[in-house]
Amino acid sequence: MEKAAPAPGNEGAADLLATATNGIIIADINGIIVQANQAAEGIFQYASGSLGGRPITDLMPNSERRRHPGYVTNYREHGARFMVGATREVEGLDRHGNSLPLLISVSLFKENGEPRFAAILHDLSERKRLERMLAAVNSELEKRVSERTAQLEEEAKRHRETINRLELVNKVVERASHAVAITDADNRILYVNPAYETLTGFKQDKVIGRKPTVAKSGHHGPDFYRRMWDALDRDQHWEGEIWDRRANGEAFPKFLSIDRLADDEGNTRNYVAVFHDLTEQKASEEEIERLQYYDSLTTLPNRSLFRHRLQHEFEVSRRQGARVGVMLLNLDRFKQINDTFGFPAGDKLLVEVAERLGTAVRRTDMIARQESRRERDPDLVSRVGGDDFAVILNDLKAPENAAVVAKRMLEAMNTPFNMEDESGQIDEVFLQASIGIAIFPDNAADVDELVRVAETALIQAKELGRGEFRFFSDNMNKNSAARVRLESDLRRAVAEEGFVLHYQPKLDLETGRFSSMEALIRWPHADGMVSPADFIPLAEETTLIVPLGAWILRRACLDAVALGERLGQVPGVAINLSARQFRQSGLIDSVRTALEESAILPEKVELEITESMVMDDVEAAIDTMQALRALGVRLAIDDFGTGYSSLSYLKRFPVNTLKIDRTFIRDLTRDSEDAAIIQAVIALARALNLHVVAEGVETQGQLVFLGEHRCASVQGFLLARPGPIESMPALFSKGFT
């Protein structure tokens, strides 16, 4: 096939066509080859120009050759959807009848009104040979162009041919299912085809002028990219598998081929990158195993491999009479890191945490696996969740030895982490972790039970203070049975609404009368009244707090309206929200339902939340509070002063009331610091136009102090103890003397 020379000024485009590493074959509707480039002829070992006019079936094995007429029939009857648009691996035949593994992408276009099929072929077995062949073809083509530049008559003709070919290439590239990106010598993007936009989600106008690192996933280290650029500088070509990110942040694997185009002096003019998505084409056993058993971010064993290894250690330990420890580690407030620095920075932090944890465990190697092992396995660190890690400690001589490893792991967190935000600023971040420890056979007899009790120990570690570790103790084992029974009773009580509400009135110090009340949950049980301190945490942990909280909302609103009918005026009612209830998506609907069912005025309802409930995700908490305020209800910050008490947050929270915690009230007549804090809180609230309630008033001295310093409302045992709704009319009628 005679090769046309480009006209002056189009050398770059011709170079791009000539240096393409993929074969291109164009056939008509009857399967007769119209054009084939040098790469295609090289793949099938046909002489230059000898493919033209041949049936495409000459390049197919017998099995595929017999089916091809059916494909053509399908196209004529059903259109291109049966033949065009897929990228797949097929088998071809070269001129000598040798089998060729190929990656083929078929596109459809029209030329002079006639349908044409364009096939892009990539030889998967002889890629290096194809490189050398294409380089030789390119050299020969450049030589012919140089020799014929003096032939003016031929130049005009070849100019037209070149334009036609470039238009053809443009159509092929534009409609190809492979993504194509072209950059300048500084690696800034000049062009991407539609397939690039489809595969990555990045629109052309958003990436032109930027570097391809806009889609960098963070899965590869500096050495990976250094080897890539070394190959491009040395060989003018690199190809391989790489992980990138789509515009939505999703990481995905792709097969990438990059060519460096240089001028005669060797200076880089452009880079041409062609890639396709490997997400659905991963088929090797090694890749399947890696994805199945290892965390792609940290390369640590994942949950599946962790459980497999733990079961194995159980079997070995039973034979040897040894102990196995499980440590569950959770990073404290890791969500704030993601919110502040972004998910890519958070991923890098998880990688560094994994590296630090790896240095904290024991690394003894095992010579051989036998029935009686002479040396122990290395301890296994796994990533079992977003910011959750697990460690298997095998061959423990004593349970206390696990504490040594736990201390080392917590100490590994003491050194600050360097975090880079999206603007490139480096900040030092201190990170803490909580660890729960369980020991086999001391705490459990099987894998599931050991993991469960380790999770219980982790919860205790978080409750007792962050940056701590806790063992699952014998006392906790004994209490587990009682907890199971209590949980069963709690579920039954929630289903049967087996709770009652007691109310504690609040005194308005300006009028001297009770004007509102706080709803307090009570659980009558066969063994007596169960303390809220015992069942509220259990309800939180089991998520029963959500239906229980909805019941409290409805019951409190109905009781307030009923009390208002007795008094002639509906009193205000304050209802505590739990942390889980505040974060659950159905909260707004629950409040709206309670308001509509009871017909209470929304401003009569005050929902109490604590500072700690809103600090994990401040922006989301503000959105929730604003949605509640939109319903017309009031909001109060409960236990103010015991949490963060950040003024920068307080001024942003759409709240109406501050409740001073009882710990400051208890000693205010004897402790000048408590007295000063209360005065400051009252002054702050008045400046922000907030209502102030002091809880836990038990002495006349406390009441006098609060009145003198213009606290708005008080509640406590001195005024009235909590009681059922039936006792409220008498209290509200007579007031307080």
One DSSP character per residue, 320-345 reads HT-EEEEEEEEETTHHHHHHHH-HHH
Cβ-based neighbours of 696, under 8 Å, separated by 6 or more: 661, 662, 663, 665, 666, 715, 716
Contact assessment for residue 117 and residue 108, using Cβ atoms and an 8 Å cutoff = yes
* Amino acid residing at 525: H
Neighbours of 178 (CB within 10 A): 22
Contact assessment for residue 606 and residue 575, using Cβ atoms and an 8 Å cutoff = yes
Average pLDDT value over all residues in the chain: 83
DSSP 54: S
Query: What domains are defined for the chain?
Result: 19-123 (3.30.450.20), 176-283 (3.30.450.20), 294-471 (3.30.70.270), 540-718 (3.20.20.450)
Strand partners, 262: 268
pLDDT 10s digits, 413-437: 888 888 876 677 788 888 889 999 9
CA pseudo-torsion sign 462, 464, 469, 473: negative
Helix (H) or strand (E) holding 53: none
Please state the pTM of the whole predicted model.
0.43
pLDDT 10s digits, 646-699: 566 677 889 999 998 888 888 888 878 888 888 988 988 888 889 999 999 999
Angle at 412 between CA 417 and CA 224, to 5 degrees: 55
- pLDDT higher than 80, residue 594: yes
DSSP 708: H
pLDDT score for 82: 53
| Band of residue 5 on the pLDDT scale cut at 50, 70, 90 | very low
Of the listed ranges 100-114, 301-315, 368-382, 468-482, the one predicted with least confidence: 368-382
pLDDT score for 283: 55
Contact assessment for residue 397 and residue 380, using Cβ atoms and an 8 Å cutoff = no
Helices (H), 497-578: 532-542, 545-567
